[in-house]
Amino acid sequence: MLNKQVLLASRPAGTVTPDNFRIAEAPLPEPGEGEVLVKNEWLSLDPYMRGRMNDAKSYAPSVDVGALMVGQTVGEVVESRHPGFRRGDKVLTSLGWQLFGVAKGKELMLVDASRVPASYYLGVLGMPGITAWFGLFEIGKPKPGDTVVVSAASGAVGSVVGQLAKQEGCRVVGIAGGRAKCDYVVRELGFDACVDYKAGRLLEDLRAACPKGIDVDFENVGGEVLDTVLRAMNPFSRIVVCGLIAEYDATEPYGYRMLRAILVNRIRMQGMIVFDWKDRYGEALADLSARIAAGKLRYKESIVEGLENAPRGLMALLSGGNFGKQLVKLG
């Protein structure tokens, strides 16, 4: 049996294209002492992957050209030479864009797939959910009655942020692309309103949806969306800079013209990366699990089938063409 992998074939010049990837076959890896062979079942696609395709210095190293694309998966143990794992166990891994992989025991986390689908550990109970939890509560610090705006509101992070903020007693306004996503955000996720940035009246629509201004902006998009949101921020408001997906594919960085609002309105704008809280993931997971068990967190997955379609899935994610947490089903 052969392994199949997606490699970085070339660095994107702006928008990611299929040419930037190459599918390769490789021998099935063999686990050494203390290692585990995992058959990946779900691959998570996330905006941060775009950054890893660049050569630029960032908070994590780039993927080398010709190397395996990085990413988290959920899979099943097929062979274990580690006492903590048995054949059939479901595990969360960082094995990347491939069907099989070998990892050391400490690189794997057992997941309990008896009460929630295993794929949830890549989304609402994984990095996106934990990102939403720490970003909102530790940086956004919403108070009851605050107006909280969330961009990419139907996405893996945004959908959790909005539901958490709603449960804190906030007015929650999403920003999403297109009528279908906005309807979902309001009707299914329970946001108070959702502004369609594709409708071309972002500032007016945002002001109408936020009659008392904006107290917290949870920013996943950046670019013109953030520059417009800045115009409606209240004095002493907070901006959680979690993602700037609008910039990732751009060849030139966006020129933000509304920074003066930070001075005039004494805004606190702060960047975040989830692993800054890695010693505290348990706090977030316990709370998120409890909310899921109580039926309080809705969650949507956007699934492409087959490893060879992973590049297409990432391109959809980066252009806003997906809808919900983006996954690749490998099993």
Catalog residues that contact its own copies under the rule CB under 8 A. Answer: 58-59, 222, 226, 235, 241-244, 247, 252-273, 276
For residues 42 and 134, which CB has a smaller minimum distance to its own copies in the complex?
134
Closest separation between CB of residue 274 and its own copies, Å?
11
| Cα 283 from chain centroid (whole Å) | 19
Closest separation between CB of residue 231 and its own copies, Å?
11
For residues 59 and 87, which CB has a smaller minimum distance to its own copies in the complex?
59
For residues 99 and 244, which CB has a smaller minimum distance to its own copies in the complex?
244
For residues 73 and 220, which CB has a smaller minimum distance to its own copies in the complex?
220
Q: Give 197's contacts (C-beta < 8 A, 6+ positions apart).
A: 151, 175, 176, 177, 225
Closest separation between CB of residue 237 and its own copies, Å?
10
User: Could you tell me the two tokens for 267?
Assistant: 């805004």
Burial (CB count <10 Å: 0-12, 13-18, 19+), residue 314: buried
Closest separation between CB of residue 271 and its own copies, Å?
4
For residues 107 and 138, which CB has a smaller minimum distance to its own copies in the complex?
138
Half-sphere exposure of 21 (CA within 13 A, CB side): 23
User: Could you tell me the two tokens for 171?
Assistant: 């007015």
User: Could you tell me the two tokens for 5?
Assistant: 């992998």
Q: Give 211's contacts (C-beta < 8 A, 6+ positions apart).
A: none
Which phi and psi angles does 120 have, rounded to 5°? Answer: -60, -25
